[in-house]
Amino acid sequence: MEAIESESFKFTNPVISKKKWTGYTLLISGVSVGNVGQLAVDLFLANLGDNVQKISAIYDEAVLPVVGKDQFNQGTCTSLELFKGNKIILLQQRSPFAKGRIPSFRRKLVKWIKDCEFSDVFMLSSVSSHVRKDKDIAGSTIRYLTNSQCVKETAADKSWLEYCVTKNSDKEDDYHLPGAGIVKSLYEECKRNSVTFTAFLIFCNPGNNIVEATQLVMHANSYLQLFKMADDDQLKMPLSWKVPLKCETGYIF
C-alpha cells in the first residue's frame, strides 16, 4: 500500500484505503468529450438515492483540485469522491488531470483496485463522433471495450457493438479513442495486471450531452442492474441539473 499512503492518492477516510471489496463492482466516470461519463455517474447517484452514500474523498496530485457544493447532502464536493451502494462502489472524478500526471495516477488506481479485490471494473466515457466509420452512423451510438468474457457473452446475446476504430498499425487492438480520456491506457493497464475491465462508450460532440448521458446510463444499467426503472421510464434529475429536459429517447428529467 505504499502508493496509497504516499502524499498522493490519499483517502479522507483512511479505513477505506485498506478495505477489501470482494464481490463489489467499481464504476468509474471518465473525463471525456462532452463530460458524458461524469454526467452519467451523477445520474446513477441521483437515481440510487438513499441506497448510496459518500464514503470518502481522494486526493491525488494528478487531479486538479476543485471544491463546490455537494448536490446530494448540501455539503461540499471535491475532485475525486467514492460512493458505496449495494455491491457497487462509484468513483466520481469532477476535474481534469494535471499535465503529465496520468501514468502515475493510472498505476496507483490499478494497484488500489487489485488490493481491494474488486470483482469487476467499469468505466463510463465518451469518444469524439468524428471517428465514426460509415457502418457506425446508423443504429446505436454506444460501444463497449472489454477484457471480460462475461461482458462479451452478454454483448453477443444483446447484439451490442464492440468498439473497433483502430489506428493504422499492425496491432489489431491499437484503438483510436480521441476525446475518451484515459480509457485506452486504463484498459491496457488492467489487461497487464489481470484486472477485469469494461468501458461503455458513446459517440458524441462537445455541448449539452444530457441525452447521451441518459442513453449511456440506461445501457450500463441494463447490465449492472443498479436500480429499477419506474413504469413511466423517468429518471431522477440531479439537483445540479436545474433545467428540465425531455429527451428524444422519451425519458423525462
Lowest mean pLDDT among 94-108, 198-212, 239-253: 239-253
What's the grid cell of residue 45? 447517484
User: Looking at residue 8, what is its pLDDT?
Assistant: 75
Residue 217 contacts residue 40 (beta carbons within 8 Å):
yes
Question: Average pLDDT of the chain?
Answer: 88
pLDDT of 12 over the 80 cut: yes
Confidence of residue 242 (pLDDT cuts 50, 70, 90): low
Burial class (CB in 10 A: 0-12, 13-18, 19+), 152: middle
**pLDDT, tens digit, 9 for 90 and up, residues 96-125:** 999 999 999 999 999 999 999 999 999 999
152 vs 166, higher pLDDT: 152
Percent of the chain at pLDDT exceeding 90: 71
Q: pLDDT value at position 76?
A: 85
> Which has the minimum average pLDDT: 68-72, 101-105, 161-165?
68-72
Q: Give the span between the Cα atoms of 94 and 31, in whole angstroms.
A: 8
pLDDT of residue 7: 55
**Average pLDDT in the 63-75 region?**
81
Note the pLDDT of residue 75.
79
In contact, 253 and 237? CB cutoff 8 Å: yes
Average pLDDT over residues 68-79: 79
Where is pLDDT greater, at 235 or 191?
A: 191
What pLDDT score was predicted for residue 4?
41
What integer is the mean pLDDT of 192-217?
Answer: 95
Is it the case that residue 214 has pLDDT exceeding 50?
Answer: yes
Q: Which amino acid is at 178?
A: P
Rounded mean pLDDT of 219-247? 77
pLDDT interval class at 232 (50, 70, 90): low
SS3 sequence of the chain: CCCCCCCCCEECCHHHHHCCCCCCEEEEECCCHHHHHHHHHHHHHHHHHHHCEEEEEEECCCECCCEEECCCCCCEEECEEEEEECCEEEEEECCCECCCCHHHHHHHHHHHHHHHCCCEEEEEEEEEHHHCCHHHCCCCCEEEEECCHHHHHHHHHHCCCECCCECCCCCCCCECCCCCCCHHHHHHHHHHCCCCEEEEEEEECCCCCHHHHHHHHHHHHHHHCCCCCCCCCCCCCCCCCCCCCECCCCCEC
Q: What is the reported pLDDT for 251?
A: 44
pLDDT band (50, 70, 90) for residue 240: confident
At residue 180 the predicted structure's pLDDT band, cuts being 50, 70 and 90, is very high
The pTM assigned to this predicted structure is 0.90
